[in-house]
Amino acid sequence: MRIVKKPEERRAEMVAAASKLFVQQGFVRTSVAEIVSAVDVAKGLFYYYFTTKDDMVKAVVEGFCSYLGTVAQEIADGEGTTREKIAAILGHESLRSCFTAPLVNDLCLPQHAALYMDMCDRMYEHLSPALEKIAAQGLEESGRDASQAHRVVSVGLYGLLMTARRGDMSLPGADELAQRLMGAPV
């Protein structure tokens, strides 16, 4: 007997299945057939919710970025120095696992530059409020102008993401650069 579910529930199931597959094997090596098989629905249902596989990639990235934004905000709102907060964000398991996964390796391929830029925009949208709060704290701690937090985060976050895409940035390097940008004593 066929199980009928609400559209938003079915869509969420497909995104969750795709997330798991993309993290394990990347989206390049994941077929639409694998995604629909994982949730036991017809292939046509995939195209009811997503025009292309790229749309699914965007939905998966949105989920990751939204979650990371929530984590970053909890850290920003918590106790600790700027240095401790930056280290907590960059050291958080979900950030480390997400950005060392085949999903991000696929996003870094030249043919997926538009998807990578979409990810950068989503990262900025979800992470910048928390990062601006931390940057303002760091700038204040170092006696600098906290009103520059927005600019520091805008330039710093996009710069880190672009440098990482080229393979020129490690997590320890990102930590050191973030510490310096946000005014934390290094």
pLDDT in tens, 92-128: 888 777 666 788 889 888 999 999 999 989 999 999 9
pLDDT tens-place string over residues 17-36: 999 999 899 999 999 999 99
Query: Does some domain include residue 109?
Result: yes
Please indicate, yes or no, whether residues 39 and 59 belong to a single structural domain of this protein: no
Say how far apart CA 67 and CA 9 lie, in whole Å.
18
Q: How many domains does the chain have?
A: 2
**Same domain, yes or no, for 94 and 164?**
yes
Share of the chain above pLDDT 70, in %: 91
**Residue 70's domain spans which residues?**
53-181
Q: What is the pTM of this model?
A: 0.86
> Which sign, positive or negative, has the C-alpha torsion 126, 127, 128, 133?
positive
What SS3 state is found at 2?
A: coil
| In a shared domain, residues 36 and 114 | no
Among candidate residues 138, 131, 119, the one with its CA nearest the CA of residue 64: 119
Amino acid at 13: E
Residues 6+ apart with CB under 8 A from 128: 150, 153, 154, 157
Is residue 2 one of the residues assigned to a domain?
no
